């Protein structure tokens, strides 16, 4: 049986690998797409030429659908439009801290006319409605507990609200890492799942081995949100750097703290995730890292989560009350 998410995207398994800036690149994206899911290139903040190189590399590694992350923000979306025009990927994965109505209305029809499908990531109900109005084919409802930039509402609270409000298929994201959270996503009304953090320890993702070890070693209360001062908070593994950032935010006015944090995310992530400095750099993750206990291939991650999701869903009939 093929569900709506699979049909719209032309994929075999209703699993999306979330865009991860500078991190989800051709090897992981093609592995996810070759395994039947949808790989998403984390090129939203990359220079034009580097994005094009990643897209072309991905096309050489898979003939299956994959997506390109576009940040729906003035200054970034114009460049992305040029990249899409030149490379014509099958799917656009649009995201923003808060979606801008007019940018969506302007660009979605242009990309769809070229045959691209549009997935929009919404962390707020209003953004999901904006996305549907602008013609998005699918909406990802991403809760606060997920990796990357953090919003406000949890997956459990957000997904059903979005399911009630719009009619395009919903994919749940934020905190999904095994059969139990996978089954919960479908129970909430989602027709597919997205995972980001789960893929950080995949064999095909080339972050520093020390960063992967730190993810596997982490347990409960291991993550912390930082960078509220510049209105782009993100979640990272708590360490010396996160303590410094939180101290800065607690002892400075917002504007002064924001100045100190200028460019912090990109620099700190490079140091933490690529150079493996797990104390002075940032390892951007979701709360679900506490459940990740081993490295696997991308295909194994997808098959384990989907297989266990099916088992959990099948077992629910036995619950008595
Ligand atoms: C290291 C990292 C980088 C991310 N970068 C982006 C990004 O550039 N664009 C985006 O739309 N989402 C980004 N995200 C969010 C993911 O696409 C996805 O929505 C999220 O990881 C799902 O929650 P989970 O981590 O609990 O699975 C990032 C997540 C992580 C962990």
Q: In this predicted structure, what is the pLDDT of residue 18?
A: 98
Banded model confidence at residue 266, pLDDT cuts 50, 70, 90: confident
pTM attached to this predicted model:
0.96
pLDDT surpasses 90 at 157: yes
Answer whether 272 contacts ligand 1 (Cβ < 6 A): no
Q: In this predicted structure, what is the pLDDT of residue 83?
A: 98
* Tokens matching residue 112: 């769809």
Q: 273 Cβ partners below 8 Å, 6+ apart?
A: 23, 207, 208, 211, 281, 282, 283, 284
Percent residues over pLDDT 70 in the chain: 100
Answer whether 169 contacts ligand 1 (Cβ < 6 A): no
Which is the closest atom of ligand 1 to the Cα of 197?
A: 25
Question: Where do we find the tokens 């088992």?
Answer: 311
Neighbours of 55 (CB within 10 A): 21
pLDDT surpasses 80 at 264: no
Give the C-alpha separation, 94 to 71, whole Å.
6
Answer whether 121 contacts ligand 1 (Cβ < 6 A): yes
Q: Which residue has the higher pLDDT, 7 or 228?
A: 7
Pairing of strands 223-226, 234-237: antiparallel
Answer whether 92 contacts ligand 1 (Cβ < 6 A): no
- How many secondary structure helices (H) and strands (E) does the chain include? 13, 10
Q: 90 Cβ partners below 8 Å, 6+ apart?
A: 10, 65, 66, 67, 115, 116, 117
CA angle 66, 70, 76 (to 5 degrees): 150
Banded model confidence at residue 263, pLDDT cuts 50, 70, 90: confident
Cα(317) to ligand 1 centroid in Å equals 33
Identify the three-state secondary structure at position 139.
strand
Residue count of the chain, please give it.
321
Answer whether 143 contacts ligand 1 (Cβ < 6 A): no
Which is the closest atom of ligand 1 to the Cα of 175?
A: 26
Answer whether 27 contacts ligand 1 (Cβ < 6 A): no
* Tokens matching residue 227: 């960078």
Cβ proximity of 9 and 91 under 8 Å: yes
Residue among 120, 116, 121, 62 at smallest CA distance from 87:
116
pLDDT tens profile 225-262: 998 888 889 999 999 999 999 999 889 888 888 888 87
Q: Which CATH architecture has domain 4-205+294-318?
A: Alpha-Beta Barrel (3.20)
Return the residue whose CA atom lies nearest to atom 19 of ligand 1: 18
Q: In this predicted structure, what is the pLDDT of residue 115?
A: 97
Answer whether 182 contacts ligand 1 (Cβ < 6 A): no
Banded model confidence at residue 1, pLDDT cuts 50, 70, 90: low
Give the C-alpha separation, 31 to 165, whole Å.
34
For the chain, the structural domain boundaries read 4-205+294-318, 219-284
Answer whether 284 contacts ligand 1 (Cβ < 6 A): yes
Answer whether 176 contacts ligand 1 (Cβ < 6 A): yes
pLDDT surpasses 90 at 30: yes
Q: 74 Cβ partners below 8 Å, 6+ apart?
A: 100, 103
Return the residue whose CA atom lies nearest to atom 17 of ligand 1: 18
Q: In this predicted structure, what is the pLDDT of residue 269?
A: 87
Return the residue whose CA atom lies nearest to atom 8 of ligand 1: 21
Banded model confidence at residue 186, pLDDT cuts 50, 70, 90: very high
Residue among 210, 181, 211 at smallest CA distance from 194:
181
Host H or E run for residue 74: none
Cβ proximity of 275 and 208 under 8 Å: yes
Cβ proximity of 235 and 287 under 8 Å: yes
pLDDT tens profile 281-291: 999 999 999 99
Neighbours of 110 (CB within 10 A): 12
Q: In this predicted structure, what is the pLDDT of residue 155?
A: 98
Identify the three-state secondary structure at position 296.
strand
Which is the closest atom of ligand 1 to the Cα of 147?
A: 25
Torsion 17-20-23-25 (CA) sign: positive
pLDDT tens profile 192-224: 999 999 999 999 999 999 999 999 999 999 999
Banded model confidence at residue 179, pLDDT cuts 50, 70, 90: very high
Answer whether 151 contacts ligand 1 (Cβ < 6 A): no
Q: What is the overall mean pLDDT for the chain?
A: 95
If you average pLDDT over residues 38-46, what whole number do you get? 96
pLDDT tens profile 104-126: 999 999 999 999 999 999 999 99
Which is the closest atom of ligand 1 to the Cα of 177?
A: 27
Phi then psi dihedrals of residue 23, to 5 deg = -120, -45
């Amino acid at each position: 049986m093929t569900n709506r998410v699979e049909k719209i995207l032309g994929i075999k398994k209703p699993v999306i690998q979330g865009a991860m800036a500078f991190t989800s690149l051709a090897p992981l994206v093609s592995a996810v797409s070759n395994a039947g899911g949808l790989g998403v290139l984390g090129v939203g903040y990359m220079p034009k030429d580097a994005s094009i190189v990643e897209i072309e590399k991905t096309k050489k590694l898979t003939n299956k659908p994959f997506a390109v992350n576009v940040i729906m923000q003035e200054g970034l979306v114009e460049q992305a439009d040029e990249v899409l025009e030149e490379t014509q990927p099958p799917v656009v994965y649009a995201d923003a801290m808060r979606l801008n109505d007019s940018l969506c209305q302007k660009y979605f029809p242009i990309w769809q006319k070229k045959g691209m499908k549009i997935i929009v990531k919404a962390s707020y109900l209003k953004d999901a409605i904006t996305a549907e109005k602008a013609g998005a084919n699918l909406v990802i409802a991403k809760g606060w507990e997920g990796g990357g930039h953090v919003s406000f509402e949890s997956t459990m609270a957000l997904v059903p609200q979005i399911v009630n409000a719009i009619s395009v298929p919903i994919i749940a994201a934020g905190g999904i890492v095994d059969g139990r959270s996978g089954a919960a996503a479908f129970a909430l009304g989602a027709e597919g799942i997205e995972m980001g953090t789960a893929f950080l320890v995949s064999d095909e993702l080339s972050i520093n081995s020390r960063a992967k070890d730190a993810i596997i070693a982490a347990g409960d209360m291991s993550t912390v949100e930082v960078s509220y001062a510049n209105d782009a908070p993100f979640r990272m593994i708590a360490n010396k750097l996160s303590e410094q950032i939180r101290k800065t935010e607690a002892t400075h006015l917002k504007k002064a703290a924001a100045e100190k944090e200028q460019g912090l995310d990109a620099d700190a992530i490079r140091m933490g995730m690529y150079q493996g400095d797990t104390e002075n750099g940032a390892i951007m993750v979701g709360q679900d890292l506490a459940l990740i206990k081993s490295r696997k291939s991308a295909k194994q991650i997808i098959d384990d989560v989907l297989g266990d999701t099916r088992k959990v869903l099948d077992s629910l009939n036995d619950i008595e009350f």
